[in-house]
């Protein structure tokens, strides 16, 4: 009898435990719906921007496209979708259902609209029989037709994510036939892959498990995400808080932004439950956003250098809005006002001052960022260790020189926004490139997208940063160093040599951005839009303000529109063919400098160039000395010897110094 009572008690406890688990699982499901129904806009203006930047759900970049469902749908957009819906065909009249584009799949917009209208319906903001009927008719069409795209991502991730979200928002609204049809779509989302792709697939299975009340599936999927929340030398978060995917290449604005978006969302959903990530994992995400991702946004725009292969139309502010969603999720998940301010800084930059000031170099990614109070600069390089750029789905096809020392400087934010179609991609700011009479190189092999030198690196120390790159590509060689100080960036080039017979001209670009207002120019200097550009070695600066034209199609075949035209400020140094001897350059960019500042610098530079050779490039500014030793050596400065026994970067401030070894393996 006693044994029987013990068994009964154990069974009761087991049933109670299961009941508690089911209760919590349902609470998590409700939390998911609550977060999914959130409106991340803060006013009518930002709400309009959420729709605009997402191109009303058509945007090629998935994180920007999702802005479409991250805002409460305005009446005007609801009315537009209702008017465009063909009830007999159960399709939208303005979509191309024959489209098979691998990037932005127009047919896939159908499910984006189903998801967005389901959110509107589930939120209770607008309920009507007409809206109910449209949502179910459109959902049933997809289930019955089950369109497939040649790009696996849409079939396995993009559409299943929208479908799973729709299922959870509608829940009891779905018929058994609809449930079975939706689950058939979700069957494409199998566990696997690496990095952010793995996180996307796991997230879909979390949603499936929540809908089916399958605790084992939910916990298995969470474990998949948990395993990707780590610091690694493979794909994912790097030790320097950059992010890699598709090999060792910087991916802050593409996969890295998606990773932060997805994980921060789940952090918010799981908060206060047994499903939440461990403190260690949460700290990794917080560090990644604080110390890595957040640095790449300036005044409501994401730096072009860090947008990955998708510098699409309005992607600068669009990615900033996507980051604001990340920051808002973290603010809620961590109860941290720092992230709330980050969100608002990107949604309403005109109302908030920049408070993120300092310098940061990402040695794992050969990139750096310098932030002053009122200006921003970034340097993007690559080496034998890293891949300079990515071309996938015929996107970003003009990018051959985009990591060859690209130096972008912003004060306003939109200086480079939507410039890709009209950019001269052989004169990306900061780069030293060649003209060989051939079309822009399109080698998509890893070797074709790498710099053939490991002699690349940088050292950041508070308000000073030094970076360097030995450029060795396609018969062009150069030693390029950049020195970032409060108030200016100094650029030195030495040992510039071309060895390939086809190279007819070599240039170094100082700037190329949208023409804004007047341009002033004097002997050895130029001024445009509040920035001064000064040659420090008497070489003339060539300046043009011509109208340039091009197309969005090489950026992405999704854009099959007319030729784009616009006036561009372009400033560069012409080195010639460099068949004999070695070329060099020395110039400064002074953000916020007026024409009188430019003329003053041209007469008497505020910084001392100590050396500019292929052996050593060094400068002194006040009591700070920055030296790049391409070979072991030393320099003597005012009775002080600065030296390095190996190739390296040395920064000296008074009696303190820091050193970064070049050529050594990066940890």
Q: For 530-561, how does the pLDDT look when each residue is reduced to its tens digit (9 = 90+)?
A: 999 999 999 999 999 999 999 999 998 888 77
Examine the pLDDT at 13 and tell me if it is beyond 60. no
SS3 category, 10: helix
- Compute the distance between CA of residue 70 and CA of residue 67 in angstroms, rounded to an integer: 5
Examine the pLDDT at 471 and tell me if it is beyond 60. yes
- Compute the distance between CA of residue 658 and CA of residue 641 in angstroms, rounded to an integer: 14
Whether 550 and 509 map to the same domain: the answer is yes
Answer for the pair 309, 395: CB distance below 8 angstroms, yes or no: yes
Examine the pLDDT at 4 and tell me if it is beyond 60. no
- For the residues 516-528, what does the mean pLDDT come to? 97
Examine the pLDDT at 647 and tell me if it is beyond 70. yes
Report pLDDT for 17: 58
Whether 341 and 368 map to the same domain: the answer is no
Whether 209 and 311 map to the same domain: the answer is yes
Report pLDDT for 181: 97
Q: Which domain does 122 fall in, by range?
A: 22-351
Distance from CA of residue 126 to its chain's centroid?
35
Does 155 fall in a domain? yes
Whether 158 and 86 map to the same domain: the answer is yes
Does 658 fall in a domain? no
Whether 318 and 447 map to the same domain: the answer is no
Q: Which of 319, 351, 383 is the last residue of a domain?
A: 351
Q: Tens digit of pLDDT for each residue in 362-373? A: 999 999 999 999
- Compute the distance between CA of residue 147 and CA of residue 110 in angstroms, rounded to an integer: 11
Within 10 angstroms of residue 280's Cβ, the number of other Cβ atoms is 9
**The two three-digit tokens of residue 249, written as one number:** 């290449």
Whether 466 and 566 map to the same domain: the answer is yes
Q: Tens digit of pLDDT for each residue in 238-288? A: 999 999 999 999 999 999 999 999 999 999 999 999 999 999 999 999 999
What does DSSP assign to residue 29? H
Domain CATH code at residue 54? 1.50.10.100
SS3 category, 494: strand
Whether 368 and 323 map to the same domain: the answer is no
Examine the pLDDT at 462 and tell me if it is beyond 50. yes
Q: Which of 324, 351, 378 is the last residue of a domain?
A: 351
Q: Tens digit of pLDDT for each residue in 104-126? A: 899 999 999 999 999 999 998 78
Whether 161 and 212 map to the same domain: the answer is yes
Average pLDDT of the chain, as a whole number: 94
- Compute the distance between CA of residue 644 and CA of residue 642 in angstroms, rounded to an integer: 7
Does 609 fall in a domain? no
Assign 3-state DSSP to the chain and report helix, strand, coil percentages, each to 5: 40, 25, 35
Closest CA to 573 of 647, 508, 511: 508
- Compute the distance between CA of residue 433 and CA of residue 446 in angstroms, rounded to an integer: 19
Answer for the pair 361, 459: CB distance below 8 angstroms, yes or no: yes
Closest CA to 480 of 448, 455, 506: 455
Q: Domain count for the chain, please give it.
A: 2
Distance from CA of residue 634 to its chain's centroid?
39
Does 158 fall in a domain? yes
pTM exceeds 0.85: yes
224: left (phi over 0), alpha (psi -120 to 50) or beta: alpha
Whether 295 and 394 map to the same domain: the answer is no
Residues in a beta bridge with 456: 469
Q: Tens digit of pLDDT for each residue in 317-346? A: 999 999 999 999 999 999 999 999 999 999
Report pLDDT for 127: 81
Examine the pLDDT at 353 and tell me if it is beyond 80. yes
Does 664 fall in a domain? no
Express as a percent the part of the chain with pLDDT over 90: 88
Whether 273 and 379 map to the same domain: the answer is no
**The two three-digit tokens of residue 626, written as one number:** 């920055």
Report pLDDT for 134: 97
Q: Tens digit of pLDDT for each residue in 67-104? A: 999 999 999 999 999 999 999 999 999 999 999 988 88
Cα atoms found within 13 Å of the Cα of residue 541, Cβ hemisphere only: 29
Whether 130 and 170 map to the same domain: the answer is yes
Helix (H) / strand (E) element for 654: namely: none
Confidence of residue 379 (pLDDT cuts 50, 70, 90): very high
The DSSP-derived string for 156-221 is: IIIHHHHHHHHHHHHGGGS-HHHHHHHHHHHTT--S--SHHHHHHHHHHHHHHHHHHT-HHHHHHH
What does DSSP assign to residue 118? H
Burial class (CB in 10 A: 0-12, 13-18, 19+), 378: buried
What does DSSP assign to residue 666? P
Whether 390 and 498 map to the same domain: the answer is yes
What does DSSP assign to residue 231? B
The DSSP-derived string for 256-310 is: HHHHHHHHHHHHHHHTTSTTSPPHHHHHHHHHHHHHTGGGGEETTEE-GGGSTT-
Does 623 fall in a domain? no
Does 205 fall in a domain? yes
Report pLDDT for 11: 45
Report pLDDT for 665: 77
Confidence of residue 581 (pLDDT cuts 50, 70, 90): confident
- For the residues 192-213, what does the mean pLDDT come to? 96
Q: Which of 351, 373, 401 is the last residue of a domain?
A: 351
Report pLDDT for 535: 98
Report pLDDT for 10: 47
Domain CATH code at residue 490? 2.70.98.10
Does 6 fall in a domain? no
Examine the pLDDT at 583 and tell me if it is beyond 90. yes
Q: In this structure, are strands 367-371 and 358-362 parallel, antiparallel, or unpaired?
A: antiparallel
């Amino acid at each position: 009898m006693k044994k029987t009572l013990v068994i009964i008690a154990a069974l009761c406890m087991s049933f109670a435990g299961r009941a508690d688990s089911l209760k919590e699982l349902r609470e998590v499901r409700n939390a998911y719906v609550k977060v999914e129904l959130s409106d991340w806009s803060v006013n009518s203006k930002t709400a309009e921007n959420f729709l605009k930047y997402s191109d009303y759900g058509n945007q090629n970049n998935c994180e920007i496209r999702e802005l479409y469902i991250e805002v409460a749908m305005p009446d005007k957009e609801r009315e537009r979708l209702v008017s465009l819906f063909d009830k007999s065909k159960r399709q939208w009249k303005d979509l191309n259902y024959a489209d098979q584009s691998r990037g932005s799949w127009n047919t896939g917009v159908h499910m984006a609209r189903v998801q967005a209208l389901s959110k509107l319906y589930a939120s209770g903001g607008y309920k009507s029989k007409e809206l109910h009927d449209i949502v179910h008719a459109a959902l049933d069409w997809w289930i019955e037709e089950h369109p497939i795209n040649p790009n696996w991502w849409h079939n396995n991730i993009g559409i299943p994510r929208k479908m799973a979200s729709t299922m959870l928002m509608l829940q009891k609204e779905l018929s058994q036939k609809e449930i079975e049809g939706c689950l058939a779509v979700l069957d494409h989302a199998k566990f696997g892959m690496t990095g952010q792709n793995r996180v996307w697939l796991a997230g879909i299975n979390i949603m499936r498990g929540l809908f089916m009340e399958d605790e084992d599936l939910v916990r298995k999927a969470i474990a998949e995400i948990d395993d990707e929340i780590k610091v690694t030398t493979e794909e994912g978060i790097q030790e320097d808080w950059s992010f890699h995917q598709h090999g060792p290449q910087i991916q802050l604005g593409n996969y890295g932004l998606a990773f932060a978006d997805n994980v921060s969302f789940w952090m918010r959903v799981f908060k206060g439950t047994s499903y939440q990530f461990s403190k260690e994992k949460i700290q990794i995400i917080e560090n990644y956003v604080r110390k890595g991702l957040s640095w790449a946004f300036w005044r409501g725009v994401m730096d072009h250098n860090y947008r990955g292969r998708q510098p699409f139309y309005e992607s600068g502010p669009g990615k900033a809005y996507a980051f604001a969603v990340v920051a808002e999720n973290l603010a809620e998940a961590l109860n941290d006002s720092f992230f709330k301010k980050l969100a608002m800084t990107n949604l309403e930059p005109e109302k908030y001052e920049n408070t993120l000031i300092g310098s940061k170099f990402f040695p794992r990614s050969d990139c750096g960022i310098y932030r002053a109070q009122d200006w921003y600069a970034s340097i993007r390089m690559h080496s034998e260790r890293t891949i300079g750029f990515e071309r996938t789905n015929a996107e970003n096809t003009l990018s051959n020189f985009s990591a060859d020392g690209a130096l972008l400087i912003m004060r306003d934010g939109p200086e480079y926004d939507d410039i890709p179609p009209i950019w001269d991609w052989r004169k990306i700011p900061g780069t030293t490139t060649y003209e060989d009479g051939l079309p822009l190189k399109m080698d998509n092999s890893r070797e074709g997208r790498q710099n053939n030198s490991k002699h690349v690196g940088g050292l950041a120390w508070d308000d000073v940063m030094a970076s360097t790159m030995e450029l060795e590509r396609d018969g062009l060689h150069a030693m390029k160093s950049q020195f970032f100080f409060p108030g200016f960036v100094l650029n030195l080039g030495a040992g510039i040599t071309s060895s390939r017979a086809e190279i007819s001209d070599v240039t170094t670009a100082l700037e190329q951005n949208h023409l804004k207002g007047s341009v002033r120019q004097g002997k050895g200097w130029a001024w445009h839009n509040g920035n001064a550009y000064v040659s420090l070695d008497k070489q003339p600066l060539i300046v043009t303000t011509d109208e340039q034209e091009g197309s969005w199609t090489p950026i992405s075949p999704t854009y099959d529109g007319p030729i784009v035209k616009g006036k561009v400020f372009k400033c560069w140094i012409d080195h010639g063919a460099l068949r004999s001897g070695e070329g060099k350059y020395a110039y400064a960019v002074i953000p916020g400098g007026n024409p009188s500042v430019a003329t003053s610098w041209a007469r008497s530079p505020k910084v001392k160039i100590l050396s500019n050779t292929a052996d050593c490039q060094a400068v002194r500014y006040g009591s700070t000395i920055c030296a790049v030793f391409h070979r072991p050596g030393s320099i003597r400065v005012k009775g002080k010897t600065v030296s390095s026994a190996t190739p390296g970067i040395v920064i000296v401030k008074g009696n303190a110094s820091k050193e970064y070894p070049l050529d050594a393996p990066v940890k």
